[in-house]
C-alpha cells in the first residue's frame, strides 16, 4: 500500500515535470497541439477567466493597493537554484530560503516556487500579456503559491492558490547582468528534460528598478490545465536586455516541432484571452502620461513668475 502510494506519487511528479516523456498530455504552441486545441487537453482552457489578456489602459480601475514586499530576494543565504528545460520553457526552480512575496493587495503571504519565461521567434513578439495591443519580446513569470498550501500543484486546486508576477522585457543596448546569469546556464539545458544547478544569486537582480506600479486582475495559468486560480500582477516597468541575450533563449530545444520544422524553442506564448466581465485594476493611473506633468510644470512656472513679479 505504502509502496503503491510512493510509486504513484513519484509517477505523478514525473508526469508533471516531463509530461511529453509519457505522452500523458499533448499540448504545445504549434499546429494540432497549439493553443486553439488546449480545451481538448483541459476543458478549463475554454472557460471565461483565462490568461493572458490585453491590458487596455483606459479600462483600468484605480485601486489603492499596498506596495509589494519581496522577502529573501536580496540574499543568497540558504538559496538553492536549479534551471530546467521542461520542453516548453526555461524555468528556474527556487528552493531552500524562505523566498516569498506579500503586500501588493494580496491577502496572505505567497511562497515563491519558480520563475520562467515566454519569448518570441523575433524581438517583435514573445510576451503573453500585451498593453494596449503592444507585445514585448519576452515576459517573465514569478510563480508564488499561497503559504497556507503545500506546493504549486496543491495551490492550483484552490481559487486563491497562486499569485504570479509578470514582467515585460524590452531590447536595449546594454547587456543585463542579472539576466546574463540565466543566459549563462541555458547552454547547459539545451535539450528538453535537462536541468542544471545554478550558483545562487540574488533574485532581485532580475527585477526592474521599481515595483511601485502594477496592474491586477484575476485569471489563470497560461498553460494547460489553465487553472483559474491566479491573482495576476503585471508590472509596466520593463527589464532591458540586448537582442543577443534574447537570441540565446531561442537556442533551447523544445519538445515540439516549430513552424520552421526544427525544435528551436520560441513563440511559447499563449494568445490573449477575452476579458469578459472581469475588471482590470491598477494601483497607479496608467493614463497620466508626460503631458499632464508638462502642464503642471508650466502652471508652476506661471505661478512662480507671478510671485517673482510681485516680489520685484
Catalytic residues: 88, 149
Query: With binding defined as CB under 5 A, does residue 270 bind Zn ion?
Result: no
We find the least distance from the C-beta atom of residue 118 to Zn ion, in angstroms, to be 6
Find the part of the chain contacting Zn ion (CB under 5 A) among 134-142, 194-202, 261-269, 295-303: 134-142
Tell me the closest approach of the beta carbon of residue 8 to Zn ion, in angstroms. Answer: 27
Contacts of 94 (CB under 8 A, 6+ apart): 79, 80, 81, 112, 113, 114, 115, 203
The alpha carbon of 180 is separated from its chain's Cα centroid by a whole number of angstroms, namely 18
- In the complex with Zn ion, the residue whose CB is nearer, 129 or 141, is 141
Please, what is the minimum distance in Å from the beta carbon of residue 246 to Zn ion? Answer: 17
Query: CB 247: neighbour CB atoms within 10 A?
Result: 13
Nearer to Zn ion, 162 or 282 (CB): 162
What is the nearest approach in angstroms of Zn ion to the Cβ of residue 168?
13
State which residue, 141 or 176, has the beta carbon closest to Zn ion. Answer: 141
Q: Work out the angle at residue 49's Cα, subtended by the Cα atoms of residues 46 and 52, and round it to the nearest 5 degrees.
A: 90
Candidate ranges 26-34, 36-44, 138-146, 176-184; the one touching Zn ion (CB under 5 A): 138-146
Enter the C-alpha cell of residue 278.
472581469
DSSP label of 251: T
Compose the 85-124 pattern: x for residues touching Zn ion by CB under 5 A, - for all others.
----------------------------------------
Sequence-ordered alpha helix ranges (H) in 82-211: 152-155, 177-186
| Residue with smaller CB distance to Zn ion, 141 or 250 | 141
Q: How far is the CB of 141 from Zn ion (least distance, A)?
A: 4
Min separation Cβ 165 and Zn ion, Å: 11
Range in contact with Zn ion (rule: CB under 5 A) among 59-67, 133-141, 276-284, 300-308: 133-141
CB burial string 153-164: b at 16+ within 10 A, e below:
eebbeeebbbbb
Cβ distance to Zn ion smaller for residue 75 or 195: 195
Query: Per CB under 5 A, which of residues 139..168 are in contact with Zn ion?
Result: 141
Footprint of Zn ion on 278-297 (CB under 5 A)? none
Which residue's CB is nearer to Zn ion, number 141 or number 181?
141
3-state secondary structure of 133: coil
C-beta nearest to Zn ion: residue: 141
Contacts of 129 (CB under 8 A, 6+ apart): 51, 52, 53, 54, 55, 139, 166, 168, 234, 272
Length of the chain: 312
- Binding segment toward Zn ion, per CB under 5 A, in 104-112, 136-144, 190-198, 291-299: 136-144
Instruction: Spell out the residues 6+ positions from residue 185 whose beta carbon is closer than 8 angstroms to its own.
Output: 83, 196, 198
Candidates 47-55, 137-145, 174-182, 244-252: pick the segment binding Zn ion (CB under 5 A).
137-145
Q: Kindly identify the residues of this chain, within the stretch 210-229, that bind Zn ion according to CB under 5 A.
A: none
Name, in order, each residue with C-beta under 8 angstroms of 197's C-beta and a sequence gap of 6 or more.
Answer: 81, 82
Residues in the site for Zn ion, rule: CB under 5 A? 141
Amino acid at each position: 500500500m505504502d509502496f503503491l502510494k510512493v510509486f504513484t506519487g513519484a509517477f505523478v511528479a514525473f508526469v508533471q515535470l516531463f509530461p511529453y516523456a509519457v505522452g500523458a498530455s499533448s499540448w504545445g504552441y504549434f499546429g494540432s497541439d497549439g493553443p486553439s486545441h488546449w480545451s481538448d487537453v483541459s476543458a478549463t482552457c475554454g472557460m471565461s477567466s483565462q490568461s493572458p489578456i490585453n491590458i487596455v489602459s483606459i479600462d483600468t480601475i484605480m485601486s489603492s493597493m499596498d506596495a509589494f514586499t519581496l522577502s529573501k530576494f536580496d540574499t543568497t543565504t540558504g538559496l538553492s537554484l536549479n534551471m530546467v528545460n521542461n520542453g516548453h520553457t526555461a524555468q528556474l526552480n527556487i528552493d531552500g530560503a524562505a523566498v516569498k512575496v506579500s503586500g501588493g493587495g494580496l491577502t496572505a503571504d505567497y511562497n515563491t516556487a519558480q520563475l520562467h519565461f515566454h519569448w518570441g521567434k523575433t524581438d517583435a513578439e514573445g510576451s503573453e500579456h500585451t498593453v494596449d495591443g503592444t507585445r514585448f519580446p519576452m515576459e517573465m513569470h514569478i510563480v508564488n503559491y499561497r503559504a497556507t498550501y503545500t506546493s504549486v500543484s496543491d495551490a492550483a486546486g484552490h481559487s486563491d492558490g497562486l499569485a504570479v508576477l509578470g514582467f515585460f522585457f524590452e531590447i536595449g543596448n546594454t547587456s543585463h547582468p542579472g539576466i546574463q546569469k540565466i543566459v549563462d546556464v541555458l547552454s547547459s539545458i539545451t535539450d528538453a528534460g535537462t536541468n542544471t544547478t545554478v550558483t545562487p544569486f540574488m533574485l532581485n537582480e532580475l527585477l526592474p528598478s521599481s515595483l511601485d506600479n502594477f496592474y491586477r486582475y484575476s485569471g489563470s495559468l497560461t498553460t494547460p490545465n489553465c487553472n483559474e486560480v491566479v491573482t495576476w500582477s503585471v508590472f509596466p516597468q520593463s527589464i532591458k536586455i540586448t537582442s543577443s541575450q534574447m537570441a540565446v533563449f531561442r537556442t533551447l530545444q523544445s519538445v515540439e516541432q516549430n513552424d520552421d520544422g526544427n525544435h528551436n524553442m520560441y513563440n511559447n506564448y499563449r494568445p490573449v484571452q477575452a476579458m469578459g466581465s472581469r475588471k482590470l485594476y491598477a494601483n497607479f493611473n496608467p493614463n497620466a502620461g508626460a503631458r499632464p506633468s508638462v502642464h503642471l510644470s508650466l502652471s508652476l512656472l506661471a505661478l512662480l513668475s507671478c510671485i517673482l513679479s510681485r516680489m520685484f
